[in-house]
Structure 1
């Protein structure tokens, strides 16, 4: 599998949650074609499987971030965490293109029934972790929940360097984190896309500048690579940073705003190019431990349809602008 046509055929031979995006973003098919494929996400394959697991209270596995009864259970002593509770499941189906109307009433049910494991706080108000709040902001905007108070949280908790850090709330850090900052700006962009509210744009731009100043990969102080995680591409990445995940965000923001790619993305682009294997695909990185509903993508070390799609989409956008 080395020719472009063979790779595209391989990507098209996939779950509707991926196929419709291949049709739209790589092939440029007419809207009626990819929209028809997108509609299938709710009725077959991965999307339908996750939607079928929703409880009558609006939650998945009875919990906000962790399944009900997780703490104190034997599973809590195992590596990783389950990726099956409400926040993670909603994040998946949102990113796969499920229409909010399919989940009509879910925002209200979560408002009534779901509380964060941290201090029993109400779901749509978020909690203290910036990554959790970012996922909740994007999902709440998608489902039509009132997340105005949560939106105001982000500028208030932005650090002096323009980034965010999950450890800052515990007083353990005053410096931004690549992981936390990317999740924050992605959540704010999703909020703007779903609601049309641009009040967070200035804060988001400061966060994006934090990453751009570091060329998406390097320490500002020394110029050294910030960590091996930068080039360890994995899908689903959940909360983990990589150069590919960051480029995917900057592509989305660029298209949303009608702006050209920032030249400071060039180093990260070359990291993506260098990660391509001789078979023309990108391979799955170190997957996150923990129980999941099912395996969404390839095992570690194997050709990944999702990563190949994301990489090709980013490179196509970059190269077209050049």
Structure 2
């Protein structure tokens, strides 16, 4: 496979790496692991700071004694709590650390879904596949993986390979639902080991995205949603190209020509300073702004874009 001649992948500038490393511990440890290839000990030491410094510490401090985030209003649907747990996973909070065990213990011991949402303990999930994808991923990451939830999600996979929160009314999959569940299944496999059923379901879901070149209608070839070419963080339930490609990288998928267009769209967003902007920030509640305003350089987007380009470039030049 060759690199698309219309754009070129270059190694990150030293100034960009320095800028990333001047960010929050949640950024720094991932840069050290994925881009500068520091030793495991140094990466772990940096990661341990998330629980007591910066964004991670702020998020943990906002949890109530009942286990939830967002106050009494959120206790009726737990969306803010679910977004927050997903964020803690994305930050890379050490799941074995004292702070994480205390926080996850409060969720496990106190939160039960309302009866209209299934009435199960939090980590066994509720009724919507996309939310259950986050819960499965968070639970697996923090040592609370639910086999019951996996079985449910596998039973809800649609014929085209993906998932949709509007099923069975809709038999056509949703990119949004599918990426949430793929991330959850991947985290489950990392925690519990691969099984034939989970791996096959995840590969079918990946193929759903790849067959559509990560953003195009299978029938018309048109871009399904122009917003998917704008990159946001936190993503919560929203799909975009950068999220989809970063999932493929994390899953160790060998890139082929079906991702070339999408990777090119990511590469072309890089500014003259080697950074990527924050775009299309979502209104979902995440407590506080981690970065600047829209169009300003984003460490989150820059980190994720650089590792996606490195993933594609390494295999493209193999």
**Fold shared by both chains (TM-score > 0.5):** yes
Contact (CA 8 Å) 2:83, 2:286: kept in 1 or not? Answer: no
Which position in structure 1 is the counterpart of 2:180? 183
| 1:262 is the counterpart of 2:262 | no
Question: Which digits, 9 at most, give the CA deviation of each residue in 1:28-85, with x for residues without a partner?
Answer: 112222211111111111001111222222222357xx62368xxxxxxxxxxx97x3
TM-score, normalization by structure 1 = 0.87
* Partner SS for 1:119: helix
Q: How does 1:184-199 map to 2 (within 5 A)?
A: 184-198=181-195, 199=197
Q: Distance in 1 between matches of 2:228 and 2:262?
A: 9
| 1:306 is the counterpart of 2:314 | no
Q: How does 1:207-222 map to 2 (within 5 A)?
A: 207-222=205-220
Cα 1:118–1:135 change in 2 (3 A) is farther
Q: Distance in 2 between matches of 1:190 and 1:297?
A: 26
Q: Quote the offset at 1:92 in angstroms.
A: 1.0
Contact (CA 8 Å) 1:41, 1:98: kept in 2 or not? Answer: yes
Match of 1:12 among 15, 21, 27: 21
Which position in structure 2 is the counterpart of 1:252? 250
Q: Distance in 2 between matches of 1:234 and 1:318?
A: 21
Moved more, 103-112 or 122-131: 103-112
Which position in structure 1 is the counterpart of 2:240? 242
Q: Quote the offset at 1:110 in angstroms.
A: 2.9
Cα 1:263–1:90 change in 2 (3 A) is same
| 1:68 is the counterpart of 2:75 | yes
Q: Distance in 1 between matches of 2:93 and 2:198?
A: 24
* Partner SS for 2:96: helix
Which position in structure 1 is the counterpart of 2:6? none
Q: Quote the offset at 1:189 in angstroms.
A: 0.3
Count of residue pairs brought into register by the alignment: 301
Cα 1:280–1:86 change in 2 (3 A) is same
Cα 1:6–1:107 change in 2 (3 A) is closer
Contact (CA 8 Å) 1:155, 1:203: kept in 2 or not? Answer: yes
Moved more, 141-150 or 267-276: 141-150
Match of 1:205 among 171, 185, 203: 203
Q: Distance in 1 between matches of 2:50 and 2:105?
A: 23
Contact (CA 8 Å) 1:236, 1:296: kept in 2 or not? Answer: no
Q: Show structure 1 runs of 5+ residues with no match.
A: 71-81
Contact (CA 8 Å) 2:227, 2:280: kept in 1 or not? Answer: no
Q: Show structure 2 runs of 5+ residues with no match.
A: 1-11
Q: Quote the offset at 1:117 in angstroms.
A: 4.9
| 1:292 is the counterpart of 2:269 | no
Choose between structure 1 and 2 for higher RCO, CA contacts under 8 A separated by at least 6 residues.
Answer: 2
Contact (CA 8 Å) 1:106, 1:143: kept in 2 or not? Answer: no
Q: Quote the offset at 1:144 in angstroms.
A: 2.3
Question: Which digits, 9 at most, give the CA deviation of each residue in 1:210-260, with x for residues without a partner?
Answer: 001001011000111111122011111111111111000000001xxxx53
Moved more, 259-268 or 13-22: 259-268
Q: Distance in 1 between matches of 2:174 and 2:271?
A: 29
Contact (CA 8 Å) 1:142, 1:194: kept in 2 or not? Answer: yes
Q: Distance in 2 between matches of 1:264 and 1:232?
A: 19
Q: How does 1:72-151 map to 2 (within 5 A)?
A: 85-102=80-97, 103-104=100-101, 106-117=103-114, 119-120=116-117, 121-122=119-120, 123-145=122-144, 147-151=146-150
Which position in structure 1 is the counterpart of 2:226? 228
